[in-house]
Amino acid sequence: MTPLPVTRALFDDVMVPNYAPADVVPVRGEGSRLWDQEGRDYIDFAGGIAVTVLGHAHPKLVAALTEQAQKLWHVSNVLVNEPALKLARRLCELTFAERVFFANSGAEANEAALKLARKYAADHAGPDKREIIAFNQSFHGRTLFTVTVGGQPKYTEGFGPLPPGIAHVPFNDLNAFAAAISERTCAVIVEPVQGEGGVTGATPEFLQGVRELCDRHRALLIFDEVQCGNGRTGHLYAYMGYGVTPDILTTAKGLGGGFPISAMLTTATIAASLAAGSHGTTYGGNPLACAVAGAALELLADPGLLAGVRRKHDLFMDGLRQINGRFGIFRDLRGQGLLLGCELIEPWRGRSREFIKAALDQGLLVLVAGPDVIRLAPSLIVPDELIQEGLRRFERAIANLAAPSVPVDEELAHAAR
């Protein structure tokens, strides 16, 4: 019997329709390029939604995975394993943390952080200190708890009743935050750079003010660095660039360079509230994921790589400004490191997804951050020449979509395939 072909159409026949993937089916990746079933290549400025921080099939990650796969895959958390302990020790060495909890996704890390915060408050202040403050347009995951904490109502519609005791205030509005926090607040969770919410960075004054108010009200400060961590901003973790240290930090996405793993980092005093049996996960901290993440972390912690992220940021921004100088389609260009947002002008607001298709037609993968912002989150080691080529393809996509009558120079036309 001849096997049926595996095509995009098969998705509609066998998968739950909660995604709407593009028609392209990638089959191979190397560095900052992908190839589809027809052999067409794509420059990857999406990075699997800020995950493949070291590109596709990085040889050191492949080696770490292959070596560990021949030794030990899974034992569960009834036993410890060497890769998990080594990774936890290294995370503690490189950050403020003294204790680490491993899980599989950003949502799970945030779930653990929020549960820990409530448990710590219950242990030290009693049952009335249980309220959580988050920020409008934030995103913290898709579990019922984390999607409720996230500040985007569209993700909670139809899933009620929702967990209580959660309040939202405007991002970067210290006065509004000061009015909301109280002695009942057990935790505040914030993304130093909001990713899904539009690639909007917190101001240093805002984060410092939040830190001071948390201290005053004995509330734990949680930094969600699922997307903006792991070198993405040009610092190993974004809090380092701000000079504001949280009580709990969550990390995922780039931590495994594409292999699913997440971590919650905190101090020994706070971690003590998650006593044996209080929280857990079957796969979290498995040897395969931790071996890959250990290899990735050593590369990401290299000061030379981090300096390269900051330099490549300037290269991207220069190119995006040149594109905007020609087409005038972006209201704002923003971001840190290699997490970049291009906010569309009024006539194009609500239409960011059209640019995904236009870019894909030119052999380029980009993302959106809501309906009004195009998001770029490439590999942190994307070569300069691919940045230039990718921006040429991006310009061609914009020309075809926004100004089809504007002539495109010969070099740009050659870049479009």
In the predicted structure, residue 247 carries a pLDDT above the cut 50: yes
Query: Which member of 139, 145, 171, 316 is catalytic?
Result: 139
CB 248 within 8 A of CB 101: no
Peptide linkage before 161 cis (omega within 30 of 0)? yes
Rounded to an integer, what distance in angstroms lies between the CA atom of residue 219 and that of residue 248?
11
> Which of 35-39, 57-61, 152-156, 189-193 bottoms out in mean pLDDT, i.e. has the lowest?
152-156
Identify the bridge partners of residue 44 per DSSP, sorted by sequence position: 365
Q: Average of pLDDT values for 179-183?
A: 98
200-237 per-position pLDDT tens digit: 999 999 999 999 999 999 999 999 999 999 999 999 99
317-359 per-position pLDDT tens digit: 999 999 999 999 999 999 999 999 999 999 999 999 999 999 9
In the predicted structure, residue 417 carries a pLDDT above the cut 90: no
In the predicted structure, residue 406 carries a pLDDT above the cut 60: no
Q: Centre a 10 Å sphere on the Cβ of residue 275 and count the other Cβ atoms it contains.
A: 10
Q: Average of pLDDT values for 252-264?
A: 98
Quick check: pTM over 0.85?
yes
* pLDDT value of residue 1: 63
- What the block records as the tokens of 25 is 């089916």
Q: Average of pLDDT values for 72-96?
A: 97
Rounded to an integer, what distance in angstroms lies between the CA atom of residue 122 and that of residue 417?
59
Q: Average of pLDDT values for 309-317?
A: 98
Q: Which domains does the chain have, with CATH numbers?
A: 8-57+303-415 (3.90.1150.10), 72-300 (3.40.640.10)
Higher-confidence residue of 416 and 136: namely: 136
In the predicted structure, residue 31 carries a pLDDT above the cut 90: yes
Query: Which member of 44, 224, 247, 372 is catalytic?
Result: 224
Higher-confidence residue of 336 and 21: namely: 336
* pLDDT value of residue 411: 42
In the predicted structure, residue 407 carries a pLDDT above the cut 60: no
In the predicted structure, residue 18 carries a pLDDT above the cut 90: no
Rounded to an integer, what distance in angstroms lies between the CA atom of residue 21 and that of residue 386?
24
Length of the chain: 417
* CA distance readout (Å), 397 to 11, 27, 63, 361, 378: 26, 23, 37, 7, 18
Identify the bridge partners of residue 251 per DSSP, sorted by sequence position: 263
Q: Look at the block and give the residue holding tokens 């915060």.
A: 117
Rounded to an integer, what distance in angstroms lies between the CA atom of residue 296 and that of residue 302?
10
E strand or H helix at 324:
helix 303-327
In the predicted structure, residue 242 carries a pLDDT above the cut 80: yes
Rounded to an integer, what distance in angstroms lies between the CA atom of residue 329 and that of residue 132?
38
Q: Percentage of residues in the chain with pLDDT exceeding 90?
A: 91
Rounded to an integer, what distance in angstroms lies between the CA atom of residue 26 and that of residue 305?
27
Q: Centre a 10 Å sphere on the Cβ of residue 323 and count the other Cβ atoms it contains.
A: 20
CB 124 within 8 A of CB 138: no
* pLDDT value of residue 414: 38
Contacts 24+ apart (CB under 8 A), 398-405: 398/323, 398/327, 398/329, 398/355, 398/358, 399/327, 400/358, 400/361, 400/362, 401/354, 401/355, 401/358, 402/327, 402/329, 402/348, 403/327
224 is catalytic: yes
129 is catalytic: no
* pLDDT value of residue 408: 46
* pLDDT value of residue 3: 73
* pLDDT value of residue 151: 83
Residue 304, exposed/middle/buried by CB under 10 A (0-12, 13-18, 19+)? exposed
357 is catalytic: no
Query: Which member of 45, 129, 206, 253 is catalytic?
Result: 253
